[in-house]
């Protein structure tokens, strides 16, 4: 492992291609330094920086860092989980996958920072829920002023962008295991990007259930072979993509509602029960999601065919 370009600090190699001077990150000013979100292990804070990775001028960035550990055990899994996510992000390069901009990994100088592009509109689930809520509140007005109007065409565009990112991951033989609207970020110009490649999940998020050695599981997004045999493949990600389509067309509703016990849900799925067609969703889109929920993984569509069909739909309407 020893060569002149790699130094070791606390057992972690310093990667000169990505290392960024931490003193150049600014956490002060209106909205900066603010916590954007928190997981079980990490937190994400808004910061700004000048001239990072060839981006001229000041850029907003999101910095993921370890949360204050609760116990010694935590501390180790926090750092290794974050390092793992960092390494995955280094290998990604696609317009619909959140971009890594740099990292501060010299732990003798401060905490591990994973610097990524900032998503001004947050995660897709909340984005759609907020849209739906503001729509309902504005119903009395004929033309809500300054309000984003989400047409079916916008939704198909979002789905195509997410499918494009998912196809890229599949081609890299990367299985996401947690495709869901909460893990899609809405960036500048409403471009959708896949995010959250960490395996450590928020213990308090109701979407996750059943503790195993690998942590909590997002059962409502999982293919039957994943919860039965712990099998994760690109085709099990396609099942989750189908649930993500359902979340888009239901504007961020919780799949199967809040009340169903997950044990019962698993029985129902095996018996053939599926999510219903959201209001306003076309039969073509519903057929696409329903096809993602075939019991036999090889009967589910490939991302190639999903993307082709979505692009075809975009060509039909104008
Ligand atoms: O779902 P959220 O509101 O959006 O909460 C999570 C939280 O941090 C933990 O992952 C938010 N988040 C993550 N990455 C980014 C980013 N690049 N830009 C903006 N918010 C982010 C995410």
Question: In what helix (H) or strand (E) does residue 129 lie, and over which residues does it extend?
Answer: helix 124-137
Annotated binding site for ATP: 37-44, 64, 182
Annotated binding site for Mg(2+): 183, 196
pTM of the model: 0.90
Gap between the Cα atoms of 45 and 36, Å rounded: 5
Q: Which atom of ligand 1 is nearest to the CA of 195?
A: 14
Provide the Cα torsion 305, 128, 183, 207; round to 10°: -110
Ligand 1 midpoint to CA 275 (Å):
27
pLDDT of amino acid 167:
97
- Half-sphere exposure (CA, 13 Å, Cβ side) for 122? 12
Q: Are 303 and 166 in contact (CB under 8 A)?
A: yes
**DSSP classification of residue 60:** E
- Following DSSP, what letter does each residue of 233-269 receive, concatenated? -HHHHHHHHHHHHHHHHTTSPPTTTTTS-HHHHHHHH
pLDDT of amino acid 269:
97
Task: Establish whether 178 is a catalytic residue.
Answer: yes
User: Which residues of the chain fall short of a pLDDT of 50?
Assistant: 1-9, 200-204, 211, 213-214
3-state helix, strand, coil in the chain (%, to 5): 40, 20, 40
pLDDT of amino acid 77:
74
Closest CA to 84 of 35, 160, 12, 8: 12
Asked whether 119 lines ligand 1 (CB < 6 A), one says: yes
Structure tokens, 167? 């196809």
Structure tokens, 177? 């295991």
User: Which of 178, 207, 253, 309 is labelled catalytic?
Assistant: 178
Asked whether 123 lines ligand 1 (CB < 6 A), one says: yes
What residues contact 89, with CB distance under 8 A and at least 6 apart? Answer: 98, 99, 100, 114, 116, 197
Q: Are 167 and 301 in contact (CB under 8 A)?
A: no
- Half-sphere exposure (CA, 13 Å, Cβ side) for 29? 9
Q: b/e for 14-23, b at 16 or more Cβ within 10 A?
A: beeebebebe
pLDDT of amino acid 220:
95
């Amino acid at each position: 492992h020893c060569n002149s370009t790699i130094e070791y600090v606390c057992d972690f190699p310093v990667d000169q291609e990505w290392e960024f001077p931490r003193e150049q990150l600014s956490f002060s000013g209106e909205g900066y330094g603010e916590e954007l979100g928190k997981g079980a292990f990490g937190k994400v804070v808004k910061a700004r920086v000048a001239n990072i990775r060839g981006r001229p001028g000041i850029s907003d960035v999101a910095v993921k860092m370890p949360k204050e550990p609760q116990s010694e055990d935590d501390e180790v899994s926090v750092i290794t989980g974050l390092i793992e996510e960092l390494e995955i992000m280094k290998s990604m390069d696609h317009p619909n996958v959140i971009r890594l901009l740099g990292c501060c990994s010299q732990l003798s100088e401060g905490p591990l920072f994973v610097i990524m592009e900032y998503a001004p509109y947050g995660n897709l689930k909340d984005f759609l829920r907020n849209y739906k809520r503001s729509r309902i509140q504005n119903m009395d007005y004929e033309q809500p002023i300054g309000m984003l109007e989400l047409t079916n065409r916008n939704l198909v565009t979002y789905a195509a962008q997410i499918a494009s990112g998912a196809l890229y991951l599949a081609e890299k033989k990367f299985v996401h295991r947690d495709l869901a609207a909460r893990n899609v970020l809405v960036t500048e110009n409403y471009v959708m990007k896949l995010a959250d490649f960490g395996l450590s999940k928020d213990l308090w998020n109701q979407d996750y259930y059943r503790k195993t050695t690998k942590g909590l599981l997002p059962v409502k997004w999982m293919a039957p072979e994943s919860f039965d045999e712990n099998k994760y493949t690109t085709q099990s990600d396609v099942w989750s993509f189908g649930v993500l389509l359902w979340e888009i067309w239901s504007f961020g509703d919780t799949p199967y509602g809040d009340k169903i016990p997950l044990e019962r849900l698993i029985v129902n799925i095996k018996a053939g029960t599926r999510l219903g067609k959201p209001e306003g969703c076309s039969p073509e889109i519903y057929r696409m999601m329903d096809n993602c929920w075939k019991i036999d993984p090889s009967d589910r569509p490939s991302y190639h065919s999903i993307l082709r069909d979505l692009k075809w739909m975009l060509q039909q309407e104008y």
